[in-house]
Amino acid sequence: MSTTPRLVATDLDGTLLRTDGSLSDHTRDVLAALDRRGVPVVIVTGRPMRWLADLRPVVGAHGLAIVSNGAAVYDVAADEARDVRGIGVAAGLELARRIEERLPGVTFAVESVAGIALAPGFVDVERIPEGSRVGSLDELWTEPALKLLVRHPDADHDRLRSDVTEAVGDLATPTWSMPGLVEISAAGVTKASALAALADRIGIPVADTIAFGDMPNDVPMLRWAGTSYAVANAHPDAAEAATHRAPANDDDGVATVLAELFDL
């Protein structure tokens, strides 16, 4: 890019974080250097708010997080959600009905600002808080949802993805970042839409932004940013959407590129 970026946006899993979920010392040093310079580093992730408590030292004084694939902006330091764009209760229950009609046997979970609630049979081995609510969607869905999560015990990922996409049509935005799980946001909600709104609010033009990602849910963001990098381990869809390539996440690809661009 011709100028030094004024806003950095990066996905977490598979991009900024190493495969084991850790953040290298080199990456921490680069992020701290950008924070000292006043450069906003925005974490843009499919993760819910409840997974980001340990990122307070990483985002620094100038950083924010966009969570749940764009459904909310999370002020990590204040532990507060802003700009929530969720799926309403009635609309969400209709989405679930359409999906279940298309693919009988699906199971659901609802992620909201308050946490996650699970319908019977939904299996998620990662970070489900003890004591999470379990029940029918009619009972659980009482406030706008950041994401509707969909699994199926038998259908392969390609069928799950295609059937859910066809079922929701233009009523919502389905995406995925791992096999066997489809994540549904409100219509028009993507990582890109949330990042564009944030950049506009703080007065940074798209030409001065840089984004990093690795999976299909990063594609809108990679296409939107003035400059974008897919890490070497990226899904083909993300690699095709990006304007540049970075080293793999296990080789500190994001930090390597940023250290060069900012002459650190």
pLDDT in tens, 130-167: 767 888 888 889 899 999 999 998 889 999 999 999 99
Q: Which residues contact 148 (CB under 8 A, 6 or more apart)?
A: 87, 92, 95, 96, 108, 109, 110, 111, 172, 183, 184
For 221-259, how does the pLDDT look when each residue is reduced to its tens digit (9 = 90+)? 999 999 999 999 999 999 999 999 999 999 999 999 999
Backbone angles phi, psi at 53, to 5 degrees: -60, -35
63: β partners: none
Instruction: Give me the pLDDT at residue 128, please.
Output: 67
User: For residue 151, what are its two tokens?
Assistant: 């699994």
For 168-224, how does the pLDDT look when each residue is reduced to its tens digit (9 = 90+)? 999 999 998 888 999 999 999 999 999 999 999 999 999 999 999 999 999 999 999
Q: 69 near 184, Cβ under 8 Å?
A: no
Is the whole-model pTM more than 0.85? yes
CA distance 165 to 169: 6
What domains does the chain contain, in order, with CATH numbers? 7-84+189-261 (3.40.50.1000), 89-186 (3.30.1240.10)
